[in-house]
Amino acid sequence: MRTLSPRLLLIISGALAAAVVITLVLLSATGAVPPITAVELALSVLTLAAAAVIVLGARRTDGKALRIDARTKRQEAALARTEQSVTRLTTALDGLAGRLEDAAREQSRTVLAALGEDRVELTAQTGRLDRLAGTASRIETTLRQGAGDLEDLRKLRHDHEQLTALTSTAVRDLGDRLEALAGAVREGHAHLARSARHDYAQLEALIDVRALLEPRAPLPRLRGWAASPDVLRLLVERVAADHTKLIVECGSGASSVWLGYAVQRFGAGRVVALEHDERFAEASRDLVAAHGLQDVVEVRHAPLTTWTAPRTDSGEAGASGGESWPWYDTGAVEDLHGVGLVFVDGPPGATAPLARYPALPVLLPRCAADAWFVVDDTVRPDEREVADRWLREHPELTGSAYPAEKGAMILRRTPR
C-alpha cells in the first residue's frame, strides 16, 4: 500500500488542527465547553500539530539524506569502473608504444642505409649546386650592372625630354612674345596711321579756315583745351552759309577770335562769349583786341552760380525738373534774343557731372527758329549724355554726330 507523502500529511494535520480549534471556539461560544478548557484543548491540539510538523520535517530530512547517500554510492561505483577502464587503456598504450619504438628503430636503420648509399650522389649534387650558385651570382652582378646602365639611360632620356620641353616652352614663349610684339607693332602702326589722318585732317581744316578768314595777327594754338580746327571749320561754314547775326559761345579763347573773323566777314553780326573765370575773360578780351575784333566780339564775365531746372506748369517736375547744376550767371544773357548759333564748349568738364546741361534750356528760348547748337567734346561720356537728354526732353529737336577730333553733336529744330 502506497504511503502518503510528508507534504500531504502536513497539510492534512494542519487542516485537522484548524478544524479542532474552530470546533472548540464554537463550543466555547455556545457554552458547551468552558472557555478555559477550550483554550487548553486548543493549545494541546496546536502542540500536537507542531510536533507532527517537526516529525514530518525530520522524516523529510532523513529521506533526503538517504537519497544523497544512495546517489553518492552510485557515483563511487561508476568512478571505480572508470578507473579500471583507464588502467586497461594505459596498459594497452604501453604495449603500443613499445611496438612503435621497435618499428621506428627498424625504419631508422633502413633510412640510414639508404642515406649512406645516396651520400656520394648528394655530394656531387652539392658541388653542381655550388657551381650553379656561382654562375647565378655572376649573372646577378651582370644584371645589376645592366640595370644601372638602364637607369642611366632613363635619366639621360628624362634629361633629353626636359630639355625638349624647355626648348618647346621657350619657343612657344618666344612665339607668343613675337606675336604680342607684332600685335603691338600693328596697333602702333594703326595708331600712327589714325594719328596721321587726324593730324592731316586738322591741318587741312586749319589751312582752309586761315585761307578763308585771313587773320591779321598771330593766333594761339588750337586743339588740347582749345577747339580743334575741324570743329572751327564747321562753325565758320555755318556762319558763311546763314550769315548768322548773333552767336553765343559758352567759354572763350581762340575760338572767340575765329568766330569774330567769321562774323566780321560773313555775318555782319556779333559774338557773345561767356567766361566764368575773370582772369581768363580779361585775357580773352586782350586777344580779341589784338586782332581788332572788339567791335564784333564781346567777352562777358559770367561767374558760375547754381541753376535749377524749372518744373512743369502742373507743378510736377519734368524730365530734369528740380535738378541743379553750376552754370554761368543767367543775368549775362538776359538781353540776348534771336540767337542763330550756340557753341557749347564750357564750363569745363571737371566743374560738375553734366555741367553743360543748362545751356540748351537757358538759351533755346532766346534762339531763332533755325538756330543750331554745336556741342564740343562728345567723345566724353558726360557730353554725350547731355546731348542725349536734350533730345529726349525736346522732341522738336533732331541731332546728328559730326566727326570732329574730340567729337561734336549738332542739334537743331525739326523743319516744318
Quote the pLDDT of residue 120.
56
Q: Which residues of the chain fall short of a pLDDT of 50?
A: 314-318
Estimate to the nearest angstrom the gap between the alpha carbon of 49 and the chain centroid: 100
DSSP state for residue 333 in the 8-state scheme: G
Quote the pLDDT of residue 318.
46
Closest CA to 8 of 47, 138, 16, 120: 16
β-strand partners of 250: 274, 344
Quote the pLDDT of residue 119.
58
Quote the pLDDT of residue 44.
80
- 261 grid coordinates: 573773323
CA angle 261, 263, 265 (to 5 degrees): 70
- 129 grid coordinates: 649546386
Task: Give residue limits of the domains in the chain.
Answer: 220-413
Using a 10 angstrom Cβ sphere, with 0-12 exposed, 13-18 middle and 19 or more buried, the burial of residue 39 is: middle
Q: Top-level CATH class of 220-413?
A: alpha beta
- 407 grid coordinates: 567729337
Nearest-angstrom CA–CA distance, 378 and 393? 18
Quote the pLDDT of residue 80.
82
Edge-to-edge, what's the strand order for the sheet holding 339-344?
297-301, 270-275, 246-250, 339-344, 367-376, 408-413, 397-402
Quote the pLDDT of residue 224.
60
The Cβ of residue 387 has, within 10 Å, a number of other Cβ atoms equal to 25
Beta strands at 324-328 and 304-308: parallel, antiparallel or unpaired: antiparallel
8 Å CB contact between 373 and 265 = no
- What sign does the CA torsion over 385, 387, 392, 394 have? positive
Quote the pLDDT of residue 91.
82
The dihedral region occupied by 178, where left means phi > 0, alpha psi between -120 and 50, and beta the remainder, is alpha
Using a 10 angstrom Cβ sphere, with 0-12 exposed, 13-18 middle and 19 or more buried, the burial of residue 352 is: middle
Nearest-angstrom CA–CA distance, 114 and 105? 14
494542519: which residue's cell? 14
Nearest-angstrom CA–CA distance, 383 and 385? 5
- 375 grid coordinates: 556741342
Nearest-angstrom CA–CA distance, 378 and 405? 10
Burial 117-128 (b: 16+ CB within 10 A, else e): eeeeeeeeeeee
H or E element: which one contains 36? helix 35-213
Nearest-angstrom CA–CA distance, 37 and 127? 124
